[in-house]
C-alpha cells in the first residue's frame, strides 16, 4: 500500500469510527418513526433522503470549515456542546414522556406530509441525527487533519467517511418500519423508550463535556 493510499484509508477509518457511533442511525431510527407517525411511506422515504443529505452537508462543513465558522462568530466548541446538549436533552425527555400519553396523541390531528417535510432539517437532522456531539467531533477531527501536510488524501478519506455515515442514515431510516415491524408492538415500545432514554443521556453527556471544557470550571 502506497503512503498516500495508507493516509486515505487511515483518514476514512478515523472519521468513520469517530462519527458513526455518535450519529447512531440504527438507534435513532425508532425515534425517527415516532416523530413521523402518521406520515405516508413516500413521505418517510423523502425525509430519509433529505435527512441524509442535510446530515452529509453538516458533517462536511464541520470537518472542513467548522472551526473557521466558529471563530468568525466568536464561538467555541464547548459553547456549541452546552447549547446542543440542552436541546438534545429536551428532545429526549419529550420523547420519553410521549410514551405515557398515547390516547392524547391519538386524538391529535396528524401533521400533513408537507408540514413533515418542513421538519426535515430541524429537528430531524439537527439536532436529533447530526447534532452538537457529531459537529464537535467533526470539528476536532478536521482540526487534526489540517495540522498535517497531506491534506488531499486526508480530505478525500474524511469526505468518503462522511458519505458512508450519510448512507447509513438513509438505509436505517428508510427501512426502519420493516425492522420495528419484526419486533412487534411491545418490542417496538421498549425499543422506542430505550432509544429516547439513550438520547437523553447523550444530551447530558454532551452538556457535561461542554461544561468540563470551560477553563473556569476545569480549573485551568
- Tell me the average pLDDT across 148-161: 81
pLDDT at 211 over 90: no
- Over the range 130-160, which residues count as b (16 or more CB within 10 Å of their CB) and which as e? bbbbbbbbbbbbbeebeeeeeeebbbebbbb
Taking the C-alpha atoms of residue 39 and residue 161, their distance in angstroms, rounded to an integer, is: 31
What are the grid coordinates assigned to 108, written together? 391529535
**Spans of all domains in the chain:** 3-212
Q: What is the pTM of this model?
A: 0.81
Q: What is the pLDDT of residue 88?
A: 78
pLDDT in tens, 81-104: 788 788 878 878 887 886 544 444
Q: What is the pLDDT of residue 102?
A: 47
Taking the C-alpha atoms of residue 162 and residue 134, their distance in angstroms, rounded to an integer, is: 11
pLDDT band at 27 (very low <50, low <70, confident <90, very high): confident
Q: What is the pLDDT of residue 80?
A: 81
- Higher-confidence residue of 103 and 55: namely 55
- Tell me the average pLDDT across 199-212: 84
Mean pLDDT of the chain: 84
Q: What is the pLDDT of residue 216?
A: 67
pLDDT band at 105 (very low <50, low <70, confident <90, very high): very low
Q: What is the pLDDT of residue 103?
A: 46
Q: What is the pLDDT of residue 99?
A: 54
pLDDT at 54 over 70: yes
pLDDT band at 194 (very low <50, low <70, confident <90, very high): confident
Q: What is the 3-state secondary structure (H, E, C) of the chain?
A: CCHHHHHHHHHHHHHHHHHHHHHCHHHHHHHHHHHCCCCCHHHHHHHHHHHHHHHHHHHHHHHHHHHHHHHHHCCCHHHHHHHHHHHHHHHHHHHHHHCCCHHHHHHCCCCCHHHHHHCHHHHHHCCCCCCHHHHHHHHHHHHHHHCCCCHHHHHHHHHHHHHHHHHHHHHHHHCHHHHHHHHHHHHHHHHHHHHHHHHHHHHHHHHHHHHHCCHHHHCC
pLDDT in tens, 37-52: 888 899 999 999 999 9
Taking the C-alpha atoms of residue 69 and residue 144, their distance in angstroms, rounded to an integer, is: 16
Taking the C-alpha atoms of residue 184 and residue 210, their distance in angstroms, rounded to an integer, is: 38
Phi, psi of 39 (to 5 degrees): -80, 155
User: Residue 209 in contact with residue 81, Cβ under 8 Å?
Assistant: yes
Amino acid at each position: 500500500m502506497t503512503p498516500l493510499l495508507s493516509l486515505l484509508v487511515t483518514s476514512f477509518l478515523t472519521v468513520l469510527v469517530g462519527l458513526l457511533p455518535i450519529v447512531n442511525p440504527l438507534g435513532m431510527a425508532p425515534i425517527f418513526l415516532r416523530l413521523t407517525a402518521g406520515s405516508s411511506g413516500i413521505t418517510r422515504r423523502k425525509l430519509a433522503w433529505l435527512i441524509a443529505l442535510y446530515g452529509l452537508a453538516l458533517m462536511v462543513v464541520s470537518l472542513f470549515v467548522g472551526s473557521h465558522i466558529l471563530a468568525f462568530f466568536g464561538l467555541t466548541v464547548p459553547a456549541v456542546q452546552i447549547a446542543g446538549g440542552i436541546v438534545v436533552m429536551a428532545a429526549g425527555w419529550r420523547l420519553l414522556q410521549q410514551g405515557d400519553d398515547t390516547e392524547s396523541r391519538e386524538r391529535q390531528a396528524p401533521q400533513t406530509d408537507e408540514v413533515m417535510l418542513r421538519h426535515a432539517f430541524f429537528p430531524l437532522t439537527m439536532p436529533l441525527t447530526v447534532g452538537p456531539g457529531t459537529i464537535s467531533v467533526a470539528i476536532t477531527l478536521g482540526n487534526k487533519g489540517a495540522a498535517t501536510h497531506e491534506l488531499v488524501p486526508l480530505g478525500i478519506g474524511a469526505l468518503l467517511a462522511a458519505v458512508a455515515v450519510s448512507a447509513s442514515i438513509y438505509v436505517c431510516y428508510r427501512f426502519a418500519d420493516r425492522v420495528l415491524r419484526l419486533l412487534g408492538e411491545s418490542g417496538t415500545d421498549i425499543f422506542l423508550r430505550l432509544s429516547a432514554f439513550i438520547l437523553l443521556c447523550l444530551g447530558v453527556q454532551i452538556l457535561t463535556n461542554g461544561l468540563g471544557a470551560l477553563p473556569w470550571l476545569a480549573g485551568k
